[in-house]
A = this chain, B = another copy of it.
């Protein structure tokens, strides 16, 4: 088992886990990373470690509760590391782990897609709503 190559391991995972199955652990993970705070947090950490207060400023509108909660979850899942500098007052830095870095391109792609396609979506919504209102 320990002699599997990275490619073999990837193949193994592809066969063993299926996010379409409700009870599959991969489904739960998909659910967890399909979260706006996750994508915003990971992309915010793209350029290097950030302090808690810096993150809360970057990600406008995030409550302290959601920020802490999301950071804890990401830390537990091994995507983000937390390092405390015991000064007074205390300084806490968050950074991406290698696992977090592996997810980063995808998260950036989502954020990018949203920013570059919102105008098309807005047009589509107007068209859809107009169709529904006047059934001409």
Contact = CB atoms under 8 A, between A and B. Distances in A.
Interface of A: 10, 13-14, 17-23, 25-27, 29-31, 33-36, 38-40, 44, 58-61, 75-79, 99, 102-103, 105-106, 109-125, 127-129
Contact of A76 (B21, B116, B125): B125
B33 A113 contact: yes
Given A34-B110, A59-B20, A124 B13 contact: no
A85 B81 CA distance: 53
A114 B33 contact: yes
B121 A113 contact: no
Given A34-B35, A121-B99, A13 B116 contact: yes
- State the main secondary structure of chain A at its contact with B: helix
20 contacts: A10-B116, A13-B115, A18-B115, A21-B61, A23-B61, A29-B121, A30-B39, A30-B110, A30-B114, A33-B114, A77-B124, A77-B125, A78-B120, A78-B123, A78-B125, A79-B121, A99-B120, A103-B113, A105-B109, A106-B113
